Each structure stands twice: as C-alpha cells, then as structure tokens.
Amino acid sequence: MENQELVVLAKKAMEQAYAPYSKFKVGAALLAKDGRVFLGCNVENASFGATICAERTAMTKAISEGVREFEKIAVVASSGDYAAPCGICRQVLYEFMPEGEVVLDSFTEGMKVMKLKELLPMGFRGEDIK
C-alpha cells in the first residue's frame, strides 16, 4: 500500500479521536505484512495518565486480533504539523516492527518517512533480556 493511502486512512482514524482535554487529535493507520490495516486514535481520560495514544490503540487492536508482523504506520495530528510518536509508542512499535517505517504528514510540508530505528536508536527488545 502506498504511503499516501495510509495517510488518508490515518486522517480517517483521527475523526474518532477522544481528546476533550488536550484538543489534540491523533490518528494512526498500521499496515500489517498480510496487507491488513488497523486504525487507531488517541483515547484520553480525566485521569490524564490513563490516556492511550493513537499508535498504541492501533497496535493493541492488531495484536489482539492475532497479527504480529507489520510494515509501517502512518500518524497524523489535528495540528497539521508532523506528529512523531511519543517515547512509549516508539518502544511499543519497536517490539513488533523494529525494521518498520513511520510515515508522518504535515498539512503544509507533505509526507516524511522515517525508519523506526532512526526514531529509537539502540531500541530495547526481548532478546536483550538475559
């Protein structure tokens, strides 16, 4: 699937964002190696720390459906600026797609594609637990 198509799906996912506190809506579209796409949005909570980011929503949906291998994830935010995944999301994505790509989109500057390994150098994985 083309990056542009994945960005369109991420924008669609953003429409479902529940962000009454920050007003910062985020959408994610995660492409699995089998071609399936899992959408996610941020889900905030009155207890702010219980908030779940869009990327983790998408990944958790996929994992809970038995999918384990992924190619890339597109992420967009209502600000229109590039919205790079937060630290926790980088770590969660790294668990399942260390070789994966992150597609970011800015309304004014267009798409930017980065390797997850660029966003999380020396990422920690299960095999490091000895």
Instruction: Report the nearest approach of ligand THU to the CB of residue 21 (Å).
Output: 7
Cα-based torsion angle of the residue sequence 114, 118, 123, 125 in order, rounded to the nearest 10 degrees? 40
Q: How far apart are CA 103 and CA 10, in angstroms?
A: 10
Q: Which lies closer to ligand THU via its Cβ, residue 24 or residue 107?
A: 24
Q: Catalytic residue at 55? A: yes
The reply to whether 100 sits near ligand THU by the rule CB under 6 A is no
Q: Which stretch binds ligand THU (CB under 6 A): 1-9, 20-28, 108-116, 117-125?
A: 20-28
Pick from 13, 19, 97, 116 the residue near ligand THU by CB under 6 A: 19
List C-alpha distances in Å: 15 to 53, 82, 88, 97, 101. Answer: 14, 17, 23, 25, 23
Q: Which lies closer to ligand THU via its Cβ, residue 9 or residue 53?
A: 53
Instruction: Report the nearest approach of ligand THU to the CB of residue 126 (Å).
Output: 22
